Structure 1
Amino acid sequence: MLGCRTREIDVARRGWRWAGGAVAGLLLAAMLWEPLSVAQPEAAPRQSYDVTITRDRYGVPHIVGRRDADVGYGLAWAHAEDDFTTLQEVFASVRGRSGALLGPEGAKLDVALELTRARAVATRDWPKLPADLRALILAYAQGLNDYAAQHPAEVRLRQLFPVTGEDVVAGFVLRSPFFFGLDRVLAPLSEGRLPPRDAEPVKPGESSTDTRPVEMKGSNAFAVTGRRSGDGVTRLIVNSHQPWTGPVAWWEVVVHSGEGWDFAGALFPGAPYPLLGHNRTLGWANTVNRPDLIDVYRLTVNGAGSAYRLDGRWVAFESKMLWLKVRFGPFVLPVPHRVKRSIHGPAFETPQGQFAIRYAGQGESGNVEQYYRLNRARDFAEWRAAMAKQGVVATNFVYADAAGHIAFFYNAKFPDRAPGYDWRGIVPGDTSKTLWTRYRPFTAVPALIDPVPGWVANSNNTPFVATAAGSNLRRADFAPELGIETYMTNRAWRFGELLADPGPIDRDRLLRTKFDKGYSRSGWAGVWMAKLLGVDAARDGDIAAAQALLRTWDWTLDGIGSADSLAALLIGEGVRKVYRGDPLPEPRAALVDVVAFLRSNWQRLDPPYAELARVRRGKSDVSISGGPDALRAYYWRRTPDGRLAGFNGDSFIMLVEWDPDGRVRSQSVQPFGSAIERPKSVHYADQSRLFAAEKWKPVLFDARDLAAQGGTPYRPG
């Protein structure tokens, strides 16, 4: 009897061991299956590249190569040295592996990859690219692959390398439409909601459906011609507002090629060349614009939901099941997700019906070549010819050059839409009359070239305010079907006020304008302050005290006045709404929230703004002035210690100057440092103090200046 019982226990133990082993095996499989399921791409045949990298005292890499392709190899290597982490995230996204690397949030990118068909577009267009561009991109890809091979411990995702030329192109295709608001449409439709209407005029502070830069992204750009500057110097300010880290954070570089490619500027991870900055004879800045380039179609579907009606006939949806690979802790699990398409583009089922979207540049990769041609342009005529390619689907360009030309282009690839439809809303999808297939020519783009006032500027505002009153473009001259935005940011109100005086716009005046920290009573901030001061505080002493302090505010966040901290926090509450085109917050709730934050962290309503507003990176922690939607743009997140840690706003800033003889010099600064994701590097945050103090470092564009600083060249690979 005892022997039987012992044998039963033995069997049970073996059974549990087997079951435990089976579970362990399943868990191990869940951890390891994803890279095994990936087909590793074949790298292009290896080439030899003749290139050196020299870093200046701030760690900015200066890449010198015999050919453009040599420079591309060195650029990739140098960027990997500084931020291999983010580069891997970018290339995971174009392989449909963001979910495996970043979890559920990353999986959204994997869906977007399919919806934009970025990989299919890249595969189709790669062989068609010009030979010089393909050579550059292949060299860039090999630079990343060689870095990965020599630093295997830094590789975050197995089978991610080798990177290919098609991967680089797919990155451009995937990223482009999100700069003009594709996320504003995809997100609600994916969640079963209707997207907002687009590009409508709005009074300051009112509820609006105007598409505006979301997540508090924006930019400023200024150009002043030598005849207006007072000293004969033509100036350009590049002042993009991007997140300070991540896949759309700027990385600075200077390149010199024996084939004539000389450029200083900045780029995003995954780009094989600078996206803005200057060469010897010309330069440009970009600001995000939001023309209505995305259309939503209401579909009429059959009872089974398998087909939609178009011109009186039924057309079957394209349907595909995606198996997303999504990381949950240590495990990567397959998650099914079905995507549909109509002839218009991606299609979505919602409780309100079925809809499809179509956006400008859909299925195109022309931006890959256009940016390269802009880099290499030698004068305004060549640069404008590159712009006419219309590969860059949307973004404002502010231009200046050594010859004294300045220009503003509200660059957009406008669909050639039929009149008579509500293009800002939802249009019928059952007729081919709404299915546009062509675009307006580049000559239809709103542009100001060498305006009489001698200056142009943009701060993510309507193109109808870009220079002094009386010389601006007229809204009536542009068809409503173009969907041109009409919104005015606070920054646009302010540059209009600051540059209105007819006197010279010299260097000091231009920089005072760029670093202005004021708020205009004419814009949304004026409406918001009136609402806050209009709250009935008869029974609330804290709100009454906050209103009394707010009435003393001098409408600038320069860190001098005692009301700056309170005003900044309240401005921050408002800007998150107006940037999205939503109604301003309920003012009493905003006051209660801000008062509670200040009381709990500071035990007062008037702590010094310099104590709150911080630029933090590693051991560096410095104060900053400015605020949301100020020309000195600074956006923050509240921290547990009651501070406001910056994460967005002014990012890479560059001042470019051409003297009367056409010689160029430039200065730049960024919030952290060149080694943006290398905490042990001396260049992790070595520019933060300069950045916060509104000071500059030199851009050593001339090789002699770099040599005088004593940098040591090295060869990558």
Structure 2
Amino acid sequence: MNSKLTHSLFRYSFLLILAFITSIVSAFPSKQWKAWKEQAKRVKIIRDEYGVPHIYGKSDADAVFGLLYAQCEDDFMRVEMNYIEKLGRRAEVFGSKEWANDLYIRLIISQEEAKQDYKNSPVWLKKLLNAYADGINYYLAKHPEVKPALLTHFEPWYPLLWTDGSIGAISTGSVNQSEVAQFYGLNGQRLTYQKINPHDPEADLTGSNGFAVGPAKSKSGNSLFYINPHVTFYFRPEVHVNSQEGLQVYGAVTWGQFFVYQGFNPYGGWMHNSSQVDVADNYAETTREGSKGMEYLLDGKWLPMKEQTIQLKSRDKEPININAYFNHRGPIMAQRDGKWISVRSYNRSMKSLIQSWARTKTTSFESFQKVMNMRANTSNNTVYAGKNGRIAYWHGNFVPKRKPDIDWSKVQDGTRSELDWKGLHALSEIVQTIDPKSAWIQNCNSTPFTVAGFSSPKRDQYPVYMAPDGENFRDRNAVRLFSSPGKLDLESLIRLGYDRKLTAFELLIPALVKAGDKRIANSTDFTSAMDTLRNWNYYVSVNSVAQTLAVHWGQKILAKIPRKVLFGGESDMIQSIEAYLAAGKEEEMCQVLENVLADLTKTWGKWNLPWGAINRLQRIDNQVDFTFDDVQSSFPVPFASSTWGMLPSYNSKPFPNTRKWYGINGNSFICAVEFGPTIKAKSLLAGGQSGDKNSPHFFDQASNYTEGKFKDVHFYLKDVLKHQKSSYHP
């Protein structure tokens, strides 16, 4: 090549690079850019063979800076989307159809309160909040090719909008978004309350499992721990965060948050799963139009409602202003039987965020219990196991004191102040078990009164609102497995967590077979299907035709089963099914099977398909709204929904353009830990670490996921370096 041409090309390339760097620097104040660069020098990110980021920072704030930068590298879209939602701004991206969601959020999550909390936050917390924003904004500055959907700059008060890492972090009692839209006229008029169907088959599809094993049940004498949240796929990545200020934590972080929500440190581990502990109540308010605005009646006195204008913007319509109402309990969110419905809740607080961070730095059971005593976690239970052999379970955390003889699942009389919350229960007063004699703990979003077998808490010692939860089939399966004789190690705990039995069908299928035997068969297909089910052992397999029949039949029959509602408003699925089977619905059960055979034949050309031919895992893009394609490659999956007692839950369904069923929810981040002299841990992540479909870590854990094969966790620096694939400063 001509030397002059080579020189010209080199000079042109250099000028392009210089212009690119100059454009970045000029977009931000030089002082800000210099500060970011200095902080980045104090952070190192090491990626292992699965793309897991191991973040090392000098200070906690440096580690947070690196953590958010790494999250943005992996999936900025999900980081941004989570805050678009918590800001109540989805309509600005997706159109005015999202106004109901936005108003719902804006009524219960106050941006002004979050900003004030940021101003009042202690110095150490403010450093973390600043580092959160700086890490994201620095990433955006360095990557101008990334085009945010809406948020081009992140504020340090954003994490104070979303102070709990749960997928179900918002509680509003029985009020839903539809009622909010109806009350505030988002559909053009105020409609009367329409009762929601209490049986929604989709409602049973979610959940989580948490297990803890004490020394007496452990082969090594070390405590064991099992983290198994069931959430939407790709809702959380796997991270390892370290600082020279004592932070050394591994686990799953919810996109855009700066604390590990499900995880462990050298001293202990924590797992959160949802329950029905009552943390939000509804009140029917008596109202009138006063001389200065709306008023409500309390103890015989008329008090003024607070009014606030909330502006909702959208991508496709002009902004609208909503005149929202509040009283001393909270926002007015619905109208039923002519009464305005207020909501008392606790959906965000600085205290909750502090608790979420503080537990990641606990160093003993006692320090963990001290953090639990903050009682600001509103959405979930906590399973704990520690290096000192201690194991524990708390059913909820934030539990308001109330009159114990009232059914708090119902709407209360808003005119009576005696029905208001009276402070919080002490930590020692809530349902819990610490170091149970059974030496094991399990919770699968079920009643706490089976949590430790014979060592479980007793129902009659607690008010109903503390634990209205019913029993489910995962709970029954876990109790069966842990009650078996023998001790566990890390590998056998993983096998237990991946037990393949569908416990619900132990009840359902014998009843169906009995009904079929009484019936005069009108087709050979029906007889063959009955024989297939009769010979099934209720264990899942990609080759099982019986599983195909059972799951299809079970979904249809479940929709016909009335809920057995307990005092406290919650349902017990096992009792519901037992009551249905006792009601003599034999012909109905058989007819549903006939319908299943017809549907399968219509869809597939035959009814006797193995489960793995239908049930698949696929990831072809990174859209939040899943897309699937029967033509493209996918993996067969043996697992089924948690509804049927499946511990390794896998919730799948067909989509409008597919015959096959594709997984969207269930086992996501799974981790087993042994707290010995050194930490031993194994983990698995649905799909892969990265949201970039061109990344080798977009779907590299898929095969292992479908088989339940865990990878080694690299917790210590020497192991991280041994498996290092890249190392860099942000």
Question: C-alpha displacement at 1:226, in angstroms?
Answer: 2.6
Counterpart position of 1:172? 163
1:345 lines up with 2:330 in the alignment: yes
1:185 lines up with 2:175 in the alignment: yes
> Residues 84-95 of structure 1: matches in 2 within 5 Å?
84-95=76-87
- Cα 1:631–1:543 change in 2 (3 A) is same
Counterpart position of 1:647? 664
Question: C-alpha displacement at 1:259, in angstroms?
Answer: 1.0
Gap runs ≥5 in structure 1: 1-39, 197-206
Counterpart position of 2:602? 600
Counterpart position of 1:315? 303
Q: Give me the TM-score of the superposition, normalised by structure 1.
A: 0.84
- Cα 1:212–1:167 change in 2 (3 A) is farther
Distance 1:218 1:179 in 2: 14
Counterpart position of 1:704? 718
Write the deviation string for residues 159-199 of structure 1: whole angstroms up to 9, x where unpaired. x23211211111227x7694465375223533543667xxx
- SS in structure 1 at match of 2:49: coil
Distance 1:636 1:194 in 2: 29
1:474 lines up with 2:458 in the alignment: yes
Counterpart position of 2:67? 75
1:610 lines up with 2:612 in the alignment: yes
- Cα 1:167–1:507 change in 2 (3 A) is closer
Q: Which deviates more from structure 2 when the two are superposed, residues 61-70 or residues 133-142?
A: 133-142
> Residues 391-470 of structure 1: matches in 2 within 5 Å?
391-469=376-454
Maintained 8 Å contact 2:490/2:672: no
> Which of 185, 205, 210 in structure 2 is aligned with 1:216?
205
- Cα 1:350–1:537 change in 2 (3 A) is farther
- Cα 1:218–1:529 change in 2 (3 A) is farther
Q: Which deviates more from structure 2 when the two are superposed, residues 265-274 or residues 582-591?
A: 582-591
Distance 1:574 1:80 in 2: 44
> Which of 283, 290, 294 in structure 2 is aligned with 1:297?
283
Write the deviation string for residues 201-223 of structure 1: whole angstroms up to 9, x where unpaired. xxxxxx978x9993622101111
> Which of 620, 631, 656 in structure 1 is aligned with 2:647?
631
RMSD over aligned CA atoms reads 3.1
- SS in structure 2 at match of 1:137: helix
- Cα 1:363–1:459 change in 2 (3 A) is closer
Question: C-alpha displacement at 1:566, in angstroms?
Answer: 1.3
Maintained 8 Å contact 1:180/1:293: no
Distance 1:130 1:533 in 2: 66
Distance 2:298 2:558 in 1: 42
Write the deviation string for residues 311-360 of structure 1: whole angstroms up to 9, x where unpaired. 11222333344332223xxx354345443222222214435222334344
Write the deviation string for residues 258-287 of structure 1: whole angstroms up to 9, x where unpaired. 111001101111211211211111111111
> Which of 89, 102, 108 in structure 2 is aligned with 1:110?
102
Counterpart position of 1:494? 477
Question: C-alpha displacement at 1:548, in angstroms?
Answer: 4.7
Counterpart position of 2:673? 656
Counterpart position of 2:17? none
Distance 1:587 1:300 in 2: 47
> Residues 270-289 of structure 1: matches in 2 within 5 Å?
270-289=256-275
Maintained 8 Å contact 2:431/2:466: no
Counterpart position of 1:28? none
- Cα 1:506–1:157 change in 2 (3 A) is closer
Question: C-alpha displacement at 1:438, in angstroms?
Answer: 1.3
Aligned length: 649
> Residues 239-254 of structure 1: matches in 2 within 5 Å?
239-245=228-234, 249-254=235-240
- SS in structure 2 at match of 1:713: strand
- SS in structure 2 at match of 1:138: helix
Write the deviation string for residues 428-447 of structure 1: whole angstroms up to 9, x where unpaired. 00111112251111111211
Distance 1:500 1:681 in 2: 44
- SS in structure 2 at match of 1:617: coil
Maintained 8 Å contact 2:287/2:295: yes
Maintained 8 Å contact 1:237/1:655: yes
1:377 lines up with 2:362 in the alignment: yes
- Cα 1:194–1:409 change in 2 (3 A) is farther
Counterpart position of 1:225? 214
- The percent identity for this pair of structures is 25
Distance 1:177 1:687 in 2: 22
- Cα 1:283–1:604 change in 2 (3 A) is same
Question: C-alpha displacement at 1:408, in angstroms?
Answer: 1.1
Maintained 8 Å contact 2:490/2:674: no
Distance 1:195 1:135 in 2: 46
Q: Which deviates more from structure 2 when the two are superposed, residues 585-594 or residues 342-351?
A: 585-594
- Cα 1:116–1:593 change in 2 (3 A) is farther
Write the deviation string for residues 610-652 of structure 1: whole angstroms up to 9, x where unpaired. 2222111136621111211111211002144421111101110
Q: Which deviates more from structure 2 when the two are superposed, residues 350-359 or residues 404-413?
A: 350-359
Maintained 8 Å contact 2:47/2:724: no
1:511 lines up with 2:528 in the alignment: no
Write the deviation string for residues 113-152 of structure 1: whole angstroms up to 9, x where unpaired. 2211331221222233222222112111111111122323
Counterpart position of 1:326? 314
Distance 2:427 2:201 in 1: 23
Counterpart position of 1:674? 689
Counterpart position of 1:37? none
